[in-house]
Copies of this chain bind each other. A is one copy, B any other.
Amino acid sequence: MNEVKSAELMVDQRINKDNILNQVRVFAPATVANMICGFDVLGFAVEAPGDEVTMTKVKQLGVRITSIKGDDGRLPLDPEQNTVSACAMKVLEDLGLAEEFGVEIELVKHMPIGSGLGSSSASTVAGVFAVNALLGNPLTKEELLPYCIEGEKLACGHGHADNVAPALMGGITLIRSYEPLDIVPLPVPAGMYAGIVFPHVDVPTRDARQLIKERVPLKDAVVQWGNVAGLVAGLYQNDFALIGRSMQDVIIEPVRAILIPQFAEMKAIAMSYGALSFGISGSGPSVVAITQSEAVAKTITIAIKNHLDKQEIDCNTYVSAVNTEGPRLLD
């Protein structure tokens, strides 16, 4: 966590110790990284699922995880290993408050781990947003983002921002550059919905990344950046036809789709029911249909679930508009 620069800029003056709360409860959303054609640079947040963090100020110094629910025992309770506690601790330290009090964290995972829906990001963002809220919001979202990226590094072994940026900022985000960090919020067309299916097959993020080749044909890269440009133009123009034509991934999907049973069949179903586009969410195995209405997204997720049932593959389905808010306080 050393790469996060301390938020020195007179942050002391932004902290009013009388405003520090005793407890906050925060929801942070799942995210669809890559947005099909924008590998590592695009992502959007959804309304549900997501994770929930309850953070309580306590006298005992340090950050502790007191409980994790919904993870089937897969996440570490060690505060230095768990991204939620590690990031919260780093914020407290940078703000010079680590010697004044501690915090206890309860994490409730309302979403599957290893699903390609930004599970670790949702937890990290919930934790970072929670500690900032607990302190009376001394830091802006832009200032919180580097902590979340460091959290991703801890959780996944790489500091990508295509889940944490949309989870924290809400909406559709472009990560134009990492050095320096340059996040561009993109417009969200009214009526855009995501129909998400998480088939219960195991595709760990690290494996999914390793399949991808280090070099790609330039001609494919040209197609991809033409599509990324078309998607961004379509978002600004509210042009769903252009959005649909542009959301095609000729580089990552052909490799990763092999890991996802029934991918081609699910795609055919989605397109036959009117999806604008269909592809892999993040590194999978979740898949996402982008639609122009909630009804179409629902129809597609039901049709895909029916198909997977016949193949004896369990799945979760989610239908959601783009979440333009990002994390929020509960209660």
User: Provided the pairs A38-B225, A174-B226, A225-B41 are in contact, do residues A214 and B214 lie with their beta carbons within 8 angstroms?
Assistant: no
Give A219 to B251 CA distance when docked, in angstroms: 12
The complex places the Cα of A186 from the Cα of B231 at a distance, in Å, of 12
Partner of A232, one of B219, B224, B229: B229
Is the beta-carbon distance between B222 and A218 smaller than 8 angstroms? no
Give Cα A214–Cα B217 distance, bound, in whole angstroms.
Answer: 6
Size band of the A side of the interface? 35 or more
Task: Give the residues in chain B near A212, CB-CB below 8 Å.
Answer: 218
Assembly CA distance A261 to B47 (angstroms): 54
Does A39 have its Cβ within 8 Å of any Cβ on chain B? yes
- Does A246 have its Cβ within 8 Å of any Cβ on chain B? yes
**Proximity string of chain A (21-57) to chain B, C-beta cutoff 8 Å, 1 when within and 0 when not:** 0000000000000000011111000000000000000
Residues of A160-190 whose CB lies within 8 A of B: 174-177, 182, 184, 186
Q: Identify which of A38, A182, A229, A246 gathers the most chain B CB atoms within 10 Å of its CB.
A: A229
**A217-B215 CB under 8 A given contacts A174-B229, A230-B182:** yes
Query: Chain B contacts of A175 at CB under 8 A?
Result: 226
Instruction: Give the contacts of A183-222 with B (CB-CB under 8 A).
Output: 184, 186, 212-219, 221-222
Chain A, range 261-320, C-beta contacts under 8 Å to B: none
Interface residues of A (CB under 8 A from B): 38-42, 174-177, 182, 184, 186, 212-219, 221-233, 236, 242, 245-246, 251
Q: Is the CB of A245 within 8 A of B177?
A: yes
Across-interface contacts of A221 in B (CB, < 8 A): 216, 221, 224-225, 251
A41 to chain B: closest residue by CB: B226
| Known contacts A213-B218, A215-B218; A224 and B223 CB within 8 A of each other | no
* Residue from B215, B226, B230, B236 within 8 A of A233 (CB atoms): B236
Complex CA distance for A215 and B229, rounded to whole angstroms = 21
Question: CB < 8 Å: which of B176, B213, B230 contacts A174?
Answer: B230
Complex CA–CA separation, A110 to B208 (angstroms)? 54
Instruction: Please report the C-alpha to C-alpha distance between residue A38 and residue B232 in the assembled complex, in whole angstroms.
Output: 14
Q: Which residues of B contact A174 (CB under 8 A)?
A: 226, 229-230, 233
Complex: A224 Cα to B226 Cα, angstroms: 11
Query: How many angstroms from the CA of A223 to the CA of B233 in the assembled complex?
Result: 18
Closest chain B residue to A221 by CB distance?
Answer: B221
Q: Which residues of B contact A227 (CB under 8 A)?
A: 176-177
A230:B184 contact, CB within 8 angstroms: yes
**Given that A182-B245, A216-B216, A233-B236 are contacting pairs, would A225 and B223 also be in contact in the complex, using a CB cutoff of 8 Å?**
no
Q: Let me know if A222 and B40 touch, CB within 8 A.
A: yes
Q: List 20 other contacts, CB 8 Å, given A176-B229, A215-B215.
A: A38-B229, A39-B222, A40-B226, A41-B226, A174-B229, A174-B233, A176-B245, A177-B226, A177-B227, A186-B233, A213-B218, A214-B217, A215-B216, A215-B217, A216-B221, A221-B225, A221-B251, A225-B225, A229-B229, A229-B232
